[in-house]
């Protein structure tokens, strides 16, 4: 959708970035479908996405009278989809706060999202384009929130205990009372 917005604007930066993104995403989808056991669901989702884009194109080309109107409508739809994309991880963040664990948060994805949404927010502000700047505000805020949760709850003992595997040679009698190690014994 953002590629279509770039073509309607016209804005070379938006077009190039989104064509590269489209190529990477299509490659990812093809690789995923190739290696997944259940191919039906991802194929159905891909078809639904393409059908949505085709329907949007038909609507824009047949029923929208001017290029300016099409630009506003595509910008609105793309902005709404982008906001939903950025707000979707909120449920996971609530779970992390309740569980006091950051195990499900990807630091690299959070940093990358923060960088990308900050750059697009800045670009939208420079271009005075609310369709670009506005949907990236939730991206910046949700990325910062995920990084704060990661900072607050990562490295906790509860997270590390899940990966503890006792060796078969360790027995409860081998630990002396003067030992500073407090490895829990599993009975």
Burial 5-42 (b: 16+ CB within 10 A, else e): bbebbebeebbebbeeeeeeeeeeeeeebeeeeeeeee
Instruction: Kindly state the helix (H) or strand (E) to which residue 85 belongs, with its residue range.
Output: helix 67-87
Q: What is the pLDDT of residues 127-169, one digit of tens each?
A: 999 999 999 999 999 999 999 999 998 876 454 444 444 444 4
The CA distance from 43 to 61, in Å, is 27
Q: What is the pLDDT of residues 89-111, one digit of tens each?
A: 888 899 999 999 999 899 999 99
Q: What is the pLDDT of residue 145?
A: 95
Q: What is the pLDDT of residue 156?
A: 61
Sign of CA dihedral 95, 100, 103, 106: positive
Return the closest-CA partner of residue 147 out of 112, 186, 121. 112
Q: What is the pLDDT of residues 23-36, one digit of tens each?
A: 999 999 999 999 99
Tokens of 132: 């670009």
Q: What is the mean pLDDT of residues 4-12?
A: 89
Q: What is the pLDDT of residue 3?
A: 87
Q: What is the pLDDT of residues 38-71, one digit of tens each?
A: 999 999 999 998 999 889 888 888 898 898 999 9
The CA distance from 101 to 88, in Å, is 19
The CA distance from 99 to 95, in Å, is 6
Radius of gyration of the chain (CA): 24
- The domains located in the chain, with CATH, are 1-79 (no CATH), 88-161 (1.20.1280)
Q: What is the pLDDT of residue 186?
A: 43
């Amino acid at each position: 959708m953002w590629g279509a917005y770039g073509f309607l604007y016209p804005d070379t930066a938006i077009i190039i970035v989104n064509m590269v993104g489209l190529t990477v995403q299509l490659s990812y989808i093809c690789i995923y479908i190739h290696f997944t056991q259940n191919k039906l669901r991802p194929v159905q989702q891909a078809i639904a996405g393409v059908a949505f884009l085709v329907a949007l194109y038909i609507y824009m080309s047949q029923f929208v009278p001017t290029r300016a109107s099409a630009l506003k409508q595509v910008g609105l739809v793309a902005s709404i989809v982008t906001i939903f994309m950025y707000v979707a991880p909120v449920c996971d963040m609530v779970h992390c706060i309740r569980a006091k664990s950051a195990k499900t948060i990807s630091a690299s994805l959070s940093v990358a999202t923060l960088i990308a949404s900050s750059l697009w927010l800045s670009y939208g502000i420079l271009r005075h384009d609310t369709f670009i700047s506005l949907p990236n505000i939730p991206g910046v805020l949700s990325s910062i929130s995920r990084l704060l949760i990661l900072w607050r709850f990562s490295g906790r003992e509860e997270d590390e205990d899940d990966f503890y595997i006792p060796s078969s040679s360790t027995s409860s009698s081998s630990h002396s009372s003067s030992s500073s190690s407090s490895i829990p014994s599993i009975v």
